[in-house]
Structure 1
Amino acid sequence: MLRRTLFTLAAAIATAASTATPAMAAGFPDGPVTMMVGFGAGGMTDTSSRIMAEELATQLGTKVLVENKPGAGGLLAIKATDALPADGQTMVSFLTEGPFTAAYQGEPLDLARWSIVGGYMPQERVLFAAASAPFSTFEEMVAYAKETPITFADGGSFWSSRVVEAYAKKHDLTIRLVPFRSGAEGSAAILGGHVTTAETGVGTSAWHAAREGGLKILATLTPGGLAQFGYPDVPSLDQRDADYVARVYYGYAVRADTPADVLEKLRAAFKAAVEAPAVQEKLKAIDLTPQWIEPAEYEEVLQSVTKDAQELRDYLKE
């Protein structure tokens, strides 16, 4: 039996969080700070980062710019940032997706080259069916896909798509993956009825369409289900004999050789931004779940992600 991968991450909540703007390291910031986003405009990484940037600008006392450099599950942005000076002026989105993708492709990231500024959000991943699909529940989808091929929009989370692929392999389902360049494209495809199923995260356009009855919510690829969003009967994959599950965590990182005092101030500003009432309100308004995740905890998860990506790759290539 393959090891079932369950990621749980407790949010570290400070007992006495200060609301004061953190004192800056001498000479930092030296001009605008850039948040390099490894995903396209309009996605959840972009949207949440722009909300964070507004508060970070206040905390850092300078402009905070958001620059999109999408591609390869966030890896293009990570590689681009790796080539920049390690001065803290640029931080890069460091979702669990990037290390997973790199490890799955046989070129794991050297995590020792990076220091986590902080994590700020977990995100449940959801499996949807088109409104016109001939099934309305996960169980009905499984029964249908054993007899008739269905299509799946492969363009959101690389990790989540591989989890769907592994489930289909284990249970003899015929699911044809249709590639898309982004989750936004995959969402548009299922909303347009061009594919039967798709996966994306809570808070996305597909999620809100489903909330309004435009799509069917079949299951969550994340342990724990969706009861907190009002869907207590929607199963999670680990409740349906899955050996793998997926969950995306959002965070930012800088080069590991960034000066210690600069990293300390970035972390303090980032934590204050995550916990700011305005940020909490804006993210929760779109069904996201902002919470401060300690760098050490986040780094532990990244180490686990690398191992699980390799195991999942080996299974799918058997």
Structure 2
Amino acid sequence: MSRISRRTALALAGTAASLTAGAQSADFPNKPLRIIVPYTPGGTTDIATRLVAEPLARALGQPVVVENRPGANSILGVGVAAASPPDGHTMVMVLPAHAANATLQAGRMPFDPMALAPVSLVVQAPLVLAGSRHVPAQNLREYLEYARARPGHVNYGSSGIGATAHLAMEDLQLRTGLRMVHVPYRGTQPALADLMAGHIGLMFDTYSTLKPQFEAGTIRPLGIATARRPQFAAELPTIIEGGLPDFVVSSWCMLLAPPRTPQSILDRLSAEVGRIVREPAMAQRLEDIGFVVEGRNSAETWAFLQAEVTRWAGVIRTANVRVDN
């Protein structure tokens, strides 16, 4: 039997891979799908995922199962997705922690976070800055002046090191020159309880999380980190209005697929997700929760993720944010 050159062998292998990917795309979907949520049930990510999963199942003609795999600031669940077959039947819904991990956990993860394939940026959830009513300040400018006059003595809380709420506050400090003390909690609720009790002075979180306490009068709304006031929080001034130019920060929910998932499958999934979230009744439901509807395509999602990785890498390095492993 004659021998073939290495170049010919590689070309044949590439052709075979293309044919296999084409066959997978034509046959997609041929079994139930799963969306991994790398967080516990009941949170913002879980809610957004479950809202999308049911209509996605109807659109694709296959069941869509939501599987919660929390742990290690999303690394556990994302790792499961990264190791899954690249056939479009497994996705993972990530938050900005995924973008932060690219820097915070560089070289220490069992997978490359930027190797996963982009499906869709589904929604964004703008962050809101909340202040303790135990602080003698009425608005954002007064809170910042209060903290500026007490360097190293005002505490702020977050749901954990590297969380969006933590990095947003580090960004705020870098922009204003403030020096505050970070108190990381295991989740949002204990941080919120301490904000109400006056043990910490400030915290960022999503509007849907903070809204009940705003309405109850137990914490003070200081500003929303959007370019303009969203319809669902029209009563809240933006942080930009409070004197911090261009301060825009959101949590977000993004669907990713395993590395090497065929582009035709990514395009099919992103098109379906975009149609689902922009459908008027669904869009209204999401906005009522405090989401800004996105439904971006695969290419737009990839560009957004790269920009977020770059943004938070700058904050992490400048503020010297570290995690203990």
The residue that corresponds to 1:226 in the other structure is 229
The residue that corresponds to 1:284 in the other structure is 287
Of 116, 119, 129, the residue aligned with 2:118 is 116
- Quick check: which has more Rg, 1 or 2? 2
Q: CA deviation at 1:49?
A: 1.0
The residue that corresponds to 2:11 in the other structure is none
The residue that corresponds to 1:144 in the other structure is 146
SS of equivalent to 1:113? coil
Distance 1:255 1:175 in 2: 39
Q: CA deviation at 1:61?
A: 1.8
Aligned CA distance change for structure 1 residues 263 and 227 (closer, same or farther; 3 Å): closer
Distance 2:198 2:41 in 1: 23
Of 171, 176, 184, the residue aligned with 2:181 is 176
Distance 1:232 1:260 in 2: 41
Distance 2:300 2:263 in 1: 19
Would you say 1:300 and 2:309 are equivalent positions? no
Distance 2:25 2:263 in 1: 9
Distance 1:143 1:112 in 2: 40
Distance 1:35 1:120 in 2: 13
Q: CA deviation at 1:271?
A: 2.3
Contact residue 160 and residue 245 of structure 1 kept, 8 A: no
The residue that corresponds to 2:317 in the other structure is 314
The residue that corresponds to 1:216 in the other structure is 220
Equivalent residue letter for 2:131? A
- Scaled by the length of structure 2, the TM-score of the pair is 0.78
Distance 1:48 1:121 in 2: 8
Distance 1:56 1:317 in 2: 41
Superimposed CA distance per residue, residues 265-297 of structure 1 (whole angstroms, 9 cap, x where no aligned partner): 322322232223442232122232223212211
Distance 2:31 2:190 in 1: 35
The residue that corresponds to 2:206 in the other structure is 201
Give aligned pairs, total: 292
Aligned CA distance change for structure 1 residues 66 and 185 (closer, same or farther; 3 Å): farther
Aligned CA distance change for structure 1 residues 284 and 261 (closer, same or farther; 3 Å): same
Contact residue 146 and residue 173 of structure 1 kept, 8 A: yes
Identity rate, percent: 24
The residue that corresponds to 1:163 in the other structure is 168
Q: CA RMSD for the aligned pairs?
A: 3.0
Aligned CA distance change for structure 1 residues 300 and 163 (closer, same or farther; 3 Å): same
Contact residue 118 and residue 293 of structure 1 kept, 8 A: yes
Of 265, 269, 272, the residue aligned with 1:266 is 269
The answer to which structure, 1 or 2, has the higher relative contact order (CA under 8 A, 6+ apart) is: 1
Equivalent residue letter for 1:298? T
The residue that corresponds to 2:87 in the other structure is 87
The residue that corresponds to 2:278 in the other structure is 275
SS of equivalent to 2:178? coil
Aligned CA distance change for structure 1 residues 111 and 131 (closer, same or farther; 3 Å): same
Contact residue 55 and residue 279 of structure 1 kept, 8 A: no
Contact residue 133 and residue 219 of structure 2 kept, 8 A: yes
Distance 2:250 2:83 in 1: 29
Distance 1:163 1:284 in 2: 22
SS of equivalent to 2:74? helix
Equivalent residue letter for 1:252? L
Contact residue 237 and residue 245 of structure 1 kept, 8 A: no
Q: CA deviation at 1:172?
A: 4.7
Distance 2:87 2:174 in 1: 46
Distance 2:50 2:241 in 1: 31
Aligned CA distance change for structure 1 residues 95 and 257 (closer, same or farther; 3 Å): same
Distance 1:311 1:25 in 2: 38
The residue that corresponds to 2:252 in the other structure is 249
Contact residue 125 and residue 200 of structure 1 kept, 8 A: yes
- Scaled by the length of structure 1, the TM-score of the pair is 0.79
Aligned CA distance change for structure 1 residues 260 and 169 (closer, same or farther; 3 Å): closer
Gaps of 5+ in 2: 1-23
Contact residue 38 and residue 75 of structure 2 kept, 8 A: yes
SS of equivalent to 1:203? helix
Equivalent residue letter for 1:240? L
Single out whichever of 106-115 and 119-128 deviates more from structure 2: 106-115
Gaps of 5+ in 1: 1-23
Superimposed CA distance per residue, residues 63-99 of structure 1 (whole angstroms, 9 cap, x where no aligned partner): 2221222344433322221112222221011334312
Contact residue 225 and residue 235 of structure 1 kept, 8 A: no
Equivalent residue letter for 2:142? E
The residue that corresponds to 1:133 in the other structure is 135
